[in-house]
């Protein structure tokens, strides 16, 4: 099982990349800002900041009976600049590149469908990769 370095109030920790349908992983610039956007969202149980693939990211644990993975992806677009591939807002560089991380085909299909819908609404190409 892959692991990702995570940061918590207690310091550096390691959290597994889980493939159980109750976790999502997003990079969206500074992980503290990304964490704040998901904290308190109905159905979200925990949000842990860390890094993956050299990017600051969050792992969102959620209750699928209260919020779907697709709803989380749709929410993600509202907190980032979907056209800025090299960072987010004042945080520029490799560590701040946005990305949606998926662990299976279902998640990939939902993330890519959400990205296509965002492109249709915004009227241009969204540069955020689904990895």
Contacts of 128 (CB under 8 A, 6+ apart): 80, 82, 85, 98, 99, 100, 115
Helix, strand, coil share of the chain (percent; to 5): 30, 30, 40
23, 29, 25: which is closest to 82 by C-alpha? 29
Q: How far apart are CA 97 and CA 83, in angstroms?
A: 11
30 part of the active site: yes
Candidates 7, 17, 18, 30; catalytic one? 30
Q: Name the residues annotated as catalytic.
A: 30
């Amino acid at each position: 099982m892959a692991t990702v370095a995570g940061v918590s109030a207690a310091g550096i920790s390691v959290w597994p990349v889980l493939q159980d349908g109750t976790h999502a992983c997003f990079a969206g610039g500074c992980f503290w800002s990304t964490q704040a956007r998901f904290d308190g969202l109905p159905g979200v149980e925990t949000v842990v900041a860390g890094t993956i693939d050299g990017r600051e990211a969050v792992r969102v644990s959620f209750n699928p009976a209260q919020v779907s993975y697709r709803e989380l992806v749709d929410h993600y677009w509202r907190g980032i600049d979907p056209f800025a591939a090299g960072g987010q807002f004042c945080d520029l560089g490799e560590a701040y590149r946005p990305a949606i991380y998926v662990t299976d085909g279902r998640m990939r299909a939902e993330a890519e469908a959400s990205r296509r819908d965002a492109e249709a609404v915004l009227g241009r190409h969204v540069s955020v990769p689904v990895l």
